[in-house]
């Protein structure tokens, strides 16, 4: 929930005719979290939902499934090594996902955060009209690389002060934008409006233009990374540009991390990527693996969004957590500031956003494992968080005003 002043003045009731500032309250559109049923429904359940007039379509569907299964059977058990590793990993954590999620889901149903599907039959179609990506931020970053570059002395932070409500046509790729106020602020970029949370800052650039982040004079006590991993699905959909493992490895994490920094990396269910993070990426950054957490995705009624044992899509994603273990960390660590050890195999269970690659905010779940008042950074971010610095070539994507709705106005 965000409050943004629009600086519309209204006459006061006193004799002096004083003016007041009107504020509006904005919330993320609730329908973007309306996941009423699993993304994949078992074939038997689908057939039961078909009406008699669609009987021929059901027959065709069965034939297609039969042919598909037949092709898979010819393959027998000739799984490649990656598939075998994935099955072994799933077997190892399956009971944890099932038991831990069940307890949280039951509590969610009791408390009203989740609800049985039958209670929400309102006759609506459930269709959601998503905002158009009218301002292609990644293309904007690409264009900026062909503009004359500023020297290091000019690479500075722009602070949005009191009544700076509109920022138009800035060279955002070379400046960090900070909203240090206690209100959200609305900015305009290429004709599109974006909402900046209070106490948030960001740098809109791609991996070739990270120098302003290094020049800002800050190191961070927590760094969350959501890399654009290479995979076939991304290549087919062309949703975003991916990075190779070696490109990710070259990121300047050691320069950005403070002593004892907590590093959190989102990893897809591909075992190749998980092993790379634990065995190659973190060691190259002098980071020690301390825990693996799992984000379990469920519907509003508490079902997994994908069947738990689906051979293709899993209803969970992994987070690998590590601590910087450089020699200087021990010398710089404040002995008076103690944080508890990070627990292993923690579950985060939530209804996902329908927007692709939108991750849940981690501020609250990480709070206990970061020193009080610690600086936090998110890399490859697509939205902003209060109190965080965010970087990426689509860092404002989900801050577009079309994703928010104004609830009420007040003084």
Mean pLDDT for 310-334 is 78
Mean pLDDT for 33-47 is 73
Q: Hey, CA dihedral for 323, 324, 330, 336, is it positive or negative?
A: negative
Q: CA-CA distance, 273 to 23, in Å (whole number)?
A: 46
The phi-psi region of residue 387 (left if phi > 0; otherwise alpha if psi is between -120 and 50; otherwise beta) is: left
Supply the pLDDT for residue 10: 40
User: Is the pLDDT reported for residue 329 higher than 60?
Assistant: no
Q: With contact defined as beta carbons under 8 Å apart, do 189 and 135 qualify?
A: yes
Supply the pLDDT for residue 12: 46
Classify domain 82-115+219-235+243-327+341-374 by CATH number. 3.40.50
Give the torsion through C-alpha atoms of 214, 217, 144, 248, to 10 deg: 20
Name the strand (E) or helix (H) holding 151: none
Most confident range (mean pLDDT) of 55-64, 283-292, 309-318 is 283-292
Helix (H, G, I), strand (E, B) or coil at 84: helix
Q: With contact defined as beta carbons under 8 Å apart, do 6 and 19 qualify?
A: no
Domain range summary for the chain, segments of one domain joined by +: 82-115+219-235+243-327+341-374, 133-217+391-406
For 279, phi then psi, to 5°, come to -100, -20
Q: What is the pTM of this model?
A: 0.81
Most confident range (mean pLDDT) of 6-10, 201-205, 291-295, 333-337 is 291-295
Condensed to tens digits (0 to 9), the pLDDT of residues 341-358 reads: 999 999 999 999 998 889
Q: What's the angle, vertex CA 236, arms to CA 205 and CA 227, rounded to 5? A: 35
Q: Average pLDDT over the chain, rounded to whole?
A: 79
Greater model confidence, 150 or 24? 24
Supply the pLDDT for residue 159: 78
Supply the pLDDT for residue 71: 47
Contacts with 21 (C-beta within 8 Å, 6 or more apart), sequence order? 5, 7, 8, 9, 411
Q: CA-CA distance, 396 to 194, in Å (whole number)?
A: 7
Supply the pLDDT for residue 199: 94
- Bridge-based pairing state of the strands 200-204 and 388-392: parallel
Mean pLDDT for 203-226 is 92
């Amino acid at each position: 929930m965000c409050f943004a002043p629009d600086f519309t003045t209204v006459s006061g009731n006193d004799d002096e005719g004083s003016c007041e500032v009107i504020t509006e309250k904005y919330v993320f559109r609730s329908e973007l979290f309306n996941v009423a049923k699993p993304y994949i429904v078992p074939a038997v359940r689908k057939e039961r939902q078909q009406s008699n007039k669609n009987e021929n379509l059901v027959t065709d569907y069965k034939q297609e499934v039969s042919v598909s299964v037949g092709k898979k059977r010819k393959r027998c058990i000739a799984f490649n090594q990656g598939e075998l590793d994935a099955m072994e990993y799933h077997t190892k954590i399956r009971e944890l996902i099932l038991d831990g999620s069940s307890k949280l889901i039951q509590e969610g149903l009791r408390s009203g955060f989740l609800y049985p599907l039958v209670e929400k039959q309102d006759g609506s179609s459930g269709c959601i009209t998503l905002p158009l990506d009218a301002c292609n931020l990644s293309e904007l970053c690409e264009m900026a690389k062909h503009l004359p570059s500023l020297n290091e002395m000019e690479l500075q932070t722009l602070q949005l002060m009191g009544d700076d409500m509109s920022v138009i046509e800035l060279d955002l790729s070379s400046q960090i934008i900070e909203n240090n106020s206690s209100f959200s602020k609305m900015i305009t970029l290429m004709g599109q409006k974006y909402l900046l949370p209070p106490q948030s800052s960001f740098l809109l650039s791609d991996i070739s233009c990270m120098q302003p982040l290094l020049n800002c004079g800050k190191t961070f006590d927590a760094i969350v990374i959501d890399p654009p991993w290479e995979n076939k699905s991304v290549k087919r959909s062309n949703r975003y540009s991916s990075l190779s493992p070696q490109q990710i490895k070259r990121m300047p994490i050691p320069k950005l991390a403070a002593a004892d920094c907590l590093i959190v990396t989102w990893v897809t269910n591909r075992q190749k990527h998980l092993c790379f993070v634990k065995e190659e990426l973190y060691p190259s950054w002098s980071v020690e693996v301390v825990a693996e957490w799992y984000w379990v995705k469920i519907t509003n009624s508490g079902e997994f969004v994908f069947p738990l044992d689906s051979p293709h899509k899993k209803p969970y994603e992994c987070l690998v957590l590590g601590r910087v273990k450089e020699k200087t960390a021990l010398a710089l660590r404040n002995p008076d500031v103690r944080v508890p050890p990070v627990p292993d195999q923690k579950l985060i269970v939530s209804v996902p956003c329908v927007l692709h690659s939108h991750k849940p905010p981690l501020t609250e779940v990480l709070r206990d494992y970061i020193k009080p008042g610690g600086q936090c950074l998110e890399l490859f971010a697509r939205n902003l968080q209060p109190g965080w610095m965010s970087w990426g070539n689509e860092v404002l994507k989900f801050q577009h005003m079309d994703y928010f709705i104004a609830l009420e106005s007040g003084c």
